[in-house]
Every structure is written in structure tokens, then in C-alpha cells.
Amino acid sequence: MMMLDWSRRAACLGMDPELFFPISLEGPGRSQVERAKAICGGCPVRQPCLDYALRTRQFDGIWGGTDPDQRRELMVKAAPRRETVPARARPGDH
């Protein structure tokens, strides 16, 4: 597997990956999420990490300092809006 160039400068490099993939975002897992986000907070490649997670639709774990719910929200905000086009009237329709 080819390593992403930005990941070689990540603050989490060499850390236990399980820290960034808590079993739950609530209860005891909440402190794990906060520890992982704190590490991301000082990471020099936080934005490329987040961009990668959004682009590849990573729905698990902490990426770029965000949890899955935060990334889903970002994906929804970034999704192209579909404009509703009114149906064309056909001859004979009233």
C-alpha cells in the first residue's frame, strides 16, 4: 500500500491507530475521541488529512480532528445543491 505523502508528517504517525478509532463516540469512548482530536489539533497536516477523509468518505475514526458526525455534516454542506426544475407544460395541459 502506498503511503500518502502528507501522512509522513502527521502528528499521529507511530501512534496506536486504535486511539483514532474508538468503539464509541459516547461514554468512555468520549475521552478517547478528545485525546485523538487533541493530537490532531497540533498536527501540521490536519487539513490534507481531513480533505482525504472527506474525498474517500471515511465514516469511521478521527480524521483531521473531526469525528464521523462532523464529517457527515461537512459532506452534506459540500454536496452540490440540486435545483428543482419546474415540469414543462404540455399542449393540452391546463
The distance from CA 49 to its chain's CA centroid, rounded to whole angstroms, is: 9
Residue 82 lies in a domain: no
Domain housing 52:
11-76
With respect to residue 93, please indicate whether it lies within any of the assigned structural domains.
no
Q: Look at the block and give the residue holding cell 395541459.
A: 93
Q: Rounded to whole angstroms, how far apart are CA atoms 62 and 89? A: 50
Whether 38 is covered by a domain: the verdict is yes
1-59 pLDDT tens trace = 445 799 999 999 999 999 999 998 888 889 999 999 999 999 999 999 999 999 999 99
Residue 31 forms part of a structural domain: yes
The total number of structural domains that make up the chain = 1
pTM for this model (two decimals): 0.77
2 within a domain of the structure (yes/no): no
With respect to residue 69, please indicate whether it lies within any of the assigned structural domains.
Answer: yes
Type and span of the H or E element at 36 = helix 29-41
> Looking at the domain assignment, is residue 55 inside a domain?
yes
